[in-house]
């Protein structure tokens, strides 16, 4: 490991020397050929032959990157608790001691180490000041010949500390001691916050389970599985107990607490001081407490309370995000995001620890903060209902943000009558999915309910005598009686390869999560022609647009017209709140222009929600689907085969009884279910 790292580092130094023009190009090329023949590096030859000195190289780096250099530094361990020496050696940086104003001085020989030093600043909670230093010091540190020069710590003590760290790593990678701190989250002075130990972000039961799993010996017959790790199951009863413990912790003794968990010093006094500096206005929120009290407690408890509240209030997503001035948590309910002010101060003070806690629950790598990560958390509610959280972690310039999608298995029980079809649309849809073969597509933008419509169709078609196979990315809900395949493009398991394998599994019905490329479209259409019913989704704005999209992907027009049976285009639209919905003034100029342009009946019952406690002052409560259903009739099939454009195909479809989504959605506008603003937002006239 050490020799390979040193060799790579020398190659990088050689590339920097060439890129900055520190050595004549002809001289560099000559030494490069010699290095190849001699089995050494260009850097070693350049320095050995005197083509460049180490000081000249450091001067060039210093001038290019505006960072000072020191030709004779004295490495020294900073006076900071739990300084990650192994991290420094792994990333080719050396501590040079403490600097002024709570700084740590670090030495590096290559500018690529700047990214590692940013992570080190987060881990130590201190500012990092850098210097370019001779590479030999870095090389010696990597090979651990130079480790004794780190003062204020005996070599034996340091080696013992490293052995302890390595033993912890064998139990669980997430048990490493990492110091997390968020700087500059809120305006004002930068407080010195306590160093957090990642091991304290786990419950005792979680740590015990990991320890037990690590002690199980592997037999020679055990084959390591390459599937994704099983997500940890968390009992919602424990979440509720944690929330109750928070409410009564000032009035009851610790002996009465049901759950005993390790606690972290979260600087409660500091959080209160910050709260006074935050001039925030009251905001709408889902599931706010009556007293709107600030949330306080340890990271494990508050994270459990956030997840528990998200489940109980019925929101679809939880956003944990950081901005320049603050951090916040937002819940998405009824399609719109609302901030949760009661968590603002806590999340601003403990943002890195909260992110680490979510990563631990989702079995993600807490030390990786440069790349996106995805995971899953399984919850079991008190009544036995399974709820899954899909976790998405995205690194930003200020820190990682997390979005948690709540996957409630109740969506599996959706019926076709509850999707929002008109009677005619539902009859056409039922007729198409009851056919023995053909391709049915559901189109619409992201978040328009396409998956829900397909699950409704699967729920209707799922019978004991039918073989149904699905390829999904990801598999959000596990359906009984249906074989579901998780697409993994990183190992070559694409929609196309899964679909090709499906044809050898004797299915009657095939569901493809999404048609993304020409290969998948070609296999799906041919499967629909060979006795299979194929259902899938496509990202287009209209049902007619799906036909054009398939042709643009490279499918012949005759194949599209023969394979395609029906296309559904849909949107999700918010309904007016029944408690606060009121008639609007139809005499205003804007409403008059709207009614005239869209041909709205003057007697239409136009309504709008004013906002109340039931709808959290939004004016909307609940959502429903608005659809257009395109049946591929004989006349439309002929138009597609003839290469007609979208306008011509739409004219033929309308003659056969097709109603565009703009007309289909007007029935909700006329009876007051949907407001004018929501209709225009979701269903513009261009659709």
Express as a percent the part of the chain with pLDDT over 70. 74
Mind listing the pLDDT tens digit for each residue in 319-375? 999 988 889 999 988 778 888 888 888 888 889 999 999 998 888 988 888 999 998
Distances (CA, A) of 337 to 91, 173, 194, 374, 512: 40, 35, 32, 21, 30
pLDDT at 17: 87
Give the residue-averaged pLDDT of 508-512.
94
**Tokens 């005239």 — which residue?**
596
- DSSP assignment of 548-564, as one string? HHHHHTT--HHHHHHHE
Separation of alpha carbons 74 and 330, rounded Å: 49
DSSP 8-class letter at 493: B
Mind listing the pLDDT tens digit for each residue in 548-586? 999 999 999 999 999 999 999 999 999 999 899 999 988
How distant is the alpha carbon of residue 397 from its chain centre?
A: 16
Q: Residue 82 — pLDDT band, cuts 50, 70, 90?
A: low
Give the residue-averaged pLDDT of 193-199.
46
> Which is nearest to 130 in space by CA: 80, 162, 88, 90?
88
Tokens coding 559 = 């194949």
Of 104-108, 295-299, 482-486, 628-632, where does mean pLDDT reach its minimum?
Answer: 295-299
Contact 159, 95 (CB under 8 A): no
Q: Which residues fall within 8 angstroms of residue 252, CB to CB, at 6 or more apart?
A: none
Tokens coding 585 = 């003034």
Contact 348, 184 (CB under 8 A): no
Cis peptide before 685 (omega within 30 of 0): no
* Most confident of the following: 216-220, 446-450, 540-544, 601-605: 540-544
Separation of alpha carbons 363 and 229, rounded Å: 7
DSSP 8-class letter at 481: T
DSSP 8-class letter at 358: H
Contact 615, 314 (CB under 8 A): no
Mean pLDDT over all residues of the chain?
77
Give the residue-averaged pLDDT of 673-683.
90
Q: Which residues fall within 8 angstroms of residue 670, CB to CB, at 6 or more apart?
A: 600, 601, 604, 605
pLDDT at 204: 62
DSSP 8-class letter at 578: T
Q: Residue 384 — pLDDT band, cuts 50, 70, 90?
A: low
Tokens coding 219 = 């037999």
Q: Residue 274 — pLDDT band, cuts 50, 70, 90?
A: very low
Of 251-255, 397-401, 542-546, 616-620, where does mean pLDDT reach its minimum?
Answer: 251-255
Tokens coding 548 = 């054009």
Q: Which residues fall within 8 angstroms of residue 444, CB to CB, at 6 or more apart?
A: 450, 539, 540, 569, 570, 571
Q: Where are the alpha helices (DSSP H) in 475-609?
A: 495-502, 518-529, 543-552, 557-563, 589-598
DSSP 8-class letter at 445: S
Q: Residue 112 — pLDDT band, cuts 50, 70, 90?
A: confident
> Which is nearest to 78 in space by CA: 143, 129, 141?
129
Separation of alpha carbons 76 and 96, rounded Å: 5
pLDDT at 191 over 90: no
pTM of the model: 0.56
The CATH code for residues 53-171 is 3.30.300.160
Q: Which of residues 74 and 636 earns the better pLDDT score?
A: 636
- Which class does domain 414-682 fall in? alpha beta
Q: Residue 380 — pLDDT band, cuts 50, 70, 90?
A: low
pLDDT at 300 over 80: yes
How distant is the alpha carbon of residue 331 from its chain centre?
A: 15
**Phi and psi, residue 445, nearest 5°:** -70, 170
Q: Residue 279 — pLDDT band, cuts 50, 70, 90?
A: very low
Q: Which of residues 235 and 582 earns the better pLDDT score?
A: 582
**Phi and psi, residue 93, nearest 5°:** -135, 150
Q: Residue 67 — pLDDT band, cuts 50, 70, 90?
A: confident
pLDDT at 227 over 80: no
Express as a percent the part of the chain with pLDDT over 90. 23
Of 101-110, 222-231, 357-366, 550-559, where does mean pLDDT reach its minimum?
Answer: 222-231
pLDDT at 395: 94
Give the residue-averaged pLDDT of 76-92.
76
pLDDT at 547 over 90: yes
pLDDT at 103 over 90: no
Parse the chain into domains and list their residue ranges.
53-171, 228-408, 414-682
pLDDT at 214: 45
Q: Residue 414 — pLDDT band, cuts 50, 70, 90?
A: low
Q: Which of residues 635 and 39 earns the better pLDDT score?
A: 635
Tokens coding 624 = 């429903």
Separation of alpha carbons 336 and 80, rounded Å: 45
Contact 341, 330 (CB under 8 A): no
pLDDT at 86: 75
The CATH code for residues 228-408 is 3.30.450.90
Separation of alpha carbons 468 and 464, rounded Å: 10
Q: Residue 284 — pLDDT band, cuts 50, 70, 90?
A: very low
Tokens coding 368 = 């990786």
Reduce the DSSP state of residue 635 to 3 states and report it: helix
pLDDT at 535: 95
Give the residue-averaged pLDDT of 285-304.
63
pLDDT at 567: 95
Q: Residue 452 — pLDDT band, cuts 50, 70, 90?
A: confident
pLDDT at 94: 85
Contact 532, 469 (CB under 8 A): no
Tokens coding 306 = 């956030």
Residue 385: other Cβ atoms inside 10 A:
13
Contacts of residues 410-414 at CB distance under 8 Å and 24 or more positions apart, as own/partner, are: 410/385, 411/452, 411/455, 411/477, 412/455, 412/459, 412/477, 412/479, 413/459, 414/452, 414/455, 414/456, 414/459
């Amino acid at each position: 490991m050490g020799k390979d790292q040193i060799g790579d580092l020398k190659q990088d130094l050689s590339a920097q020397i060439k890129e900055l023009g520190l050595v004549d190009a002809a001289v560099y090329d000559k030494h490069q050929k010699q290095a190849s023949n001699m089995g050494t590096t260009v850097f070693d030859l350049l320095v050995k032959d005197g083509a460049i000195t180490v000081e000249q190289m450091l001067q060039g780096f210093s001038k290019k990157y505006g960072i000072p250099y020191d030709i004779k530094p004295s490495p020294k361990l900073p006076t900071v608790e739990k300084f990650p020496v192994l991290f420094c050696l792994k990333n080719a940086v050396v501590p040079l001691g403490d600097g002024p104003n709570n700084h740590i001085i670090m030495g590096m020989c290559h500018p690529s180490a700047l990214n590692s030093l940013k992570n080190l600043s987060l881990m130590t909670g201190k500012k990092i000041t850098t210097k370019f230093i001779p590479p030999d010091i870095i090389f010696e540190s990597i090979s651990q010949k130079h480790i004794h020069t780190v003062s204020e710590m005996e070599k034996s003590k340091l080696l013992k500390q490293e052995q302890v760290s390595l033993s912890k790593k064998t139990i669980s990678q997430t048990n490493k001691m990492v110091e997390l701190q968020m700087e500059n989250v809120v305006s004002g002075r930068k407080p010195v916050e306590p160093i957090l130990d990642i091991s304290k972000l786990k419950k005792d039961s979680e740590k015990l389970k990991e320890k037990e799993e690590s002690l199980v010996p592997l037999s020679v017959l055990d084959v390591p599985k390459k599937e994704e790790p099983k997500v940890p199951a968390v009992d919602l009863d424990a979440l509720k107990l944690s929330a109750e413990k928070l409410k009564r912790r000032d009035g009851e003794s610790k002996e009465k607490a049901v759950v005993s968990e390790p606690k972290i010093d979260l600087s409660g006094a500091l959080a209160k001081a910050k709260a006074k500096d935050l001039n925030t206005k009251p905001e709408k929120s889902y599931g706010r407490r009556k007293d709107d009290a600030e949330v306080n407690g340890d990271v494990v408890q508050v994270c459990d309370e956030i997840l528990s509240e998200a489940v109980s209030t019925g929101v679809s997503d939880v956003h944990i995000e950081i901005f320049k001035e603050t951090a916040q948590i937002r819940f998405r309910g009824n399609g719109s995001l609302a901030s949760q002010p009661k968590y603002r101060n806590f999340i601003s003070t403990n943002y890195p620890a909260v992110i680490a806690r979510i990563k631990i629950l989702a079995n993600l790598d807490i030390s990786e903060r440069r790349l996106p990560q995805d995971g899953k958390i399984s919850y079991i509610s008190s009544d036995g209902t399974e709820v899954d959280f899909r976790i998405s972690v995205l690194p930003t310039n200020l820190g990682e943000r997390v979005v948690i999608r709540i996957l409630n298995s109740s969506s599996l029980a959706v019926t076709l009558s509850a999707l929002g079809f008109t009677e005619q649309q539902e009859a056409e849809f039922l007729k198409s999915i009851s056919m023995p073969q053909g391709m049915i597509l559901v189109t619409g933008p992201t978040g328009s309910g396409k998956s829900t419509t397909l699950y409704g169709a699967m729920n209707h078609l799922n019978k004991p005598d039918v073989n149904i196979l699905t390829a999904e990315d990801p598999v959000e809900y596990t359906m009984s009686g249906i074989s579901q395949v998780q697409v993994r493009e990183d190992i070559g398991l694409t929609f196309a390869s899964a679909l090709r394998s499906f044809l050898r599994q004797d299915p009657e019905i095939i569901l493809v999560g999404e048609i993304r490329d020409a290969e998948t479209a070609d296999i799906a259409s041919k499967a629909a022609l060979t006795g299979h019913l194929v259902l899938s989704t496509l990202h287009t704005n209209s049902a007619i647009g799906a036909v054009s999209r398939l042709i643009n992907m490279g499918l012949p027009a005759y194949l599209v017209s023969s394979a395609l049976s029906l296309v559904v285009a849909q949107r999700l639209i918010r309904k007016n709140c029944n408690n606060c919905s009121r008639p609007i003034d139809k005499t205003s100029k804007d409403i008059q222009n709207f009614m005239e342009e869209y041909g709205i009946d003057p007697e239409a019952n136009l309504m709008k929600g004013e906002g109340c406690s039931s709808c959290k002052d939004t004016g909307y409560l609940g959502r429903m689907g608005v659809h257009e259903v395109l049946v591929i009739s004989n006349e439309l099939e002929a138009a597609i085969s003839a290469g007609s454009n979208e306008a011509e195909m739409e004219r033929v479809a309308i003659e056969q009884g097709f109603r565009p989504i703009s007309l289909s959605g007007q029935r909700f506008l006329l009876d007051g279910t949907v407001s004018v603003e929501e209709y225009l937002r979701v269903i513009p006239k261009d659709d």
